[in-house]
Homo-oligomer: A and B are copies of this chain.
Amino acid sequence: MTYTEQLANIQKHTGREFKSTSSPFMRWLNPVVVSAEKGKLVFEYTIRHEMANSMGILHGGVIAAIIDDTVAATVSTFNEEYFYVTISNTIDYFHQAKLYDVVRAETSIVKKGKQLVNIECKLWNEKKTHLIAKGYSKLLKTDKQKTNL
């Protein structure tokens, strides 16, 4: 795959697990691609036992990880030649999610500048009646070129 095919690669997994990713931790999170367009992703995740904390609910660290991962995937949908690095994530926690629940991450671009991208990610319960968490991330364009991915 070349960098110009990144969005198309996510889109062709619509409705199913994104198994072809080269990121081992993304495979561990195991998103199902609900929809994908430039700057906007909807991924769903099923909460497995190993994602729980000692209360038996979705661990806040896994929430942070889901947000970080969907945000980075969102930047890849611009099919740009240069890598971005995440410089910060802020996660606000609002609601719990239970074991075996499906949660739904939706990203959107707040601002895409020349060097910086600000992205928001809302994590909802499956029916979108409760906002579980909200993340804000900043990514910075590097001068490192993507060759084959």
Chain A residues within 8 Å of B, Cβ to Cβ: 21-29, 49-54, 59-62, 64-69, 72, 85-94, 110-111, 113, 115-116, 118, 131, 134, 136, 138, 140, 149
The CA of A92 and the CA of B116, in the complex, are separated in Å by 11
Chain B residues with Cβ below 8 Å from A118 are 92, 94
Contact B87 A138 (CB under 8 A): yes
Taking the full assembly, how many copies of this chain does it contain?
4
Decide: A85 and B93 in contact? CB cutoff 8 A.
yes
A90 touches B93 (CB 8 A): no
Dominant secondary structure at the A interface: mixed
Q: Please determine whether A64 and B91 come into contact, CB atoms closer than 8 angstroms.
A: yes
Whether B140 lies near A115 (C-beta < 8 A) is yes
Hey, which chain B residues are within 8 Å of A29, CB to CB? 61
- For the complex, give the distance between the alpha carbons of A61 and B23 in Å: 12
A60 to chain B, nearest CB (A): 5
The 5 nearest A-B residue pairs measured at CB = A61-B65, A64-B64, A61-B68, A23-B54, A25-B59
A19 to chain B, nearest CB (A): 13
